[in-house]
Amino acid sequence: MKIKISTFSSYLHESSVFLKENEDFINSIADNLSTNIEYANLDDYDCDLKLILIASGGSENYFLENINKLKEPYYLLTTGKNNSLAASLEILTYLNNHNLDGEILHGSIDYISLRIKELIKKDNKDLVVNLGIIGKPSDWLISSNLDRKKVLKLFNIKLIDISLDELIALYKQKESFSYNLAGYDKKELDKANNLYFAFCEIRSRYNLAGLTIRCFDLLDTIHTTGCFSLAEMNAKGITGTCEGDISALISMYLIKKWFDQSSFQANPSKIDVDNNVIELAHCTCPFDMISSFKYDSHFESGIGVAIKGEFFEKDVTVFRLSSNLKRFYVGEGKIIANLNDPRQCRSQIRIKMNDDISCLLREPCGNHHIVFYGHHKDEIINNLYKLGMRN
């Protein structure tokens, strides 16, 4: 963690003893956090958390004179000595009266250190992230357009439109490169790798935490698929989804954000209400979710490089946001089999659900559903209920 601090004090309190007390106080917090705390100019906010040390009484006017150099929220750190708490209370009252966000950090070193960790976690959570839409949703995803202002308000996610032509141009720049991946047609693997590096360049250009691609348009333009690229990206922590499905992209990004897990975007191919079983399939899956895999062709087109992954037979959560962001589906179950149906996409699983899945036949939230390991239903419900959504 990177912490910086700026100091306010009265000129009446600048003795060597006073300065040594403040230094020892800051060092104690730094030692407790196992990090360095750097002294910085008032307007220096290049850090995870900026603290404002109100070191003494009489610093209130000095703070007010320089408030335009500071940014919300104002985290006022106080030693409790030299009327520092009294000055902090006066400053925070001023901030509250002017609808400015602030907090006093005061108490034991352990308490202050814990609160600093919580604030860093909170501030990082509130950062706006970019998710890219390369092309637009596939034509058959007729219920997948989202209100972008609502996406930003609910999840701090900014959706960035990116031309498919830009990706294709980058791919063609890299087309002469060759890579060595055994076990499949070398030409097709080279094309898949070239596309992966084009995705990486797009991600870097637009500072993306994730992206979705109108992937079927790649079949006619560069004669390959995005299956390999998305499998690699998701395994490396960059959320990637197929078919320009924005709801699936946001669902997968939230899983990564909340649980630090990769997830599998898949089409429900069979729902057995009598036995509470669902089968799902897709031609890509994150490499870090599977025990083994083999390369295959893309199911619908028969070209490119798809991934046939073998999933672990573990407990899973199945999740999907609705495109109107009013509802969501979440359920828990266990993967009981990996399937090999030649009439389905290449990676295929059967899940025995704990919850009644007949609701998917009455009020679905969309096609693609997102599968990831573990029991997380309750936490998802808690997180989304707070945002006014219902399942």
Size of the chain in residues: 391
How far from 16 is each of 13, 22, 278, CA to CA, in Å? 9, 10, 71
Looking at the fold, whether 237 and 331 belong to one and the same domain comes out as yes
Looking at the fold, whether 193 and 312 belong to one and the same domain comes out as yes
Compute the average pLDDT of residues 330-334.
98
Q: How far apart are CA 274 and CA 106, in angstroms?
A: 59
> Contact, 223 vs 231, CB < 8 A?
no
**Whole-prediction pTM:** 0.69
Looking at the fold, whether 84 and 197 belong to one and the same domain comes out as no
Residue 1 has pLDDT above 80, yes or no: no
Looking at the fold, whether 56 and 175 belong to one and the same domain comes out as no
pLDDT digits 0-9 by tens, 67-115: 999 998 999 999 989 999 999 999 999 999 998 989 999 999 999 999 9
Q: Into how many domains does the chain fold?
A: 2
On whether residue 361 sits in a domain, the answer given is: yes
Q: How far apart are CA 275 and CA 285, in angstroms?
A: 26
Query: Which residue is associated with the tokens 């036995």?
Result: 275
pLDDT digits 0-9 by tens, 227-246: 999 999 999 999 999 998 99
Q: How far apart are CA 211 and CA 134, in angstroms?
A: 7
Structure confidence at residue 11 (pLDDT) = 67
Looking at the fold, whether 148 and 235 belong to one and the same domain comes out as yes
Looking at the fold, whether 115 and 137 belong to one and the same domain comes out as no
The residue out of 125, 144, 176 marking a domain boundary is 125
| Domain enclosing residue 254, as ranges | 129-385
How far from 218 is each of 21, 165, 168, 238, CA to CA, in Å? 65, 10, 8, 20
Looking at the fold, whether 41 and 170 belong to one and the same domain comes out as no
Compute the average pLDDT of residues 176-188.
63
How far from 148 is each of 77, 142, 157, 209, 256, CA to CA, in Å? 38, 16, 9, 16, 20
Residue 124 has pLDDT above 70, yes or no: no
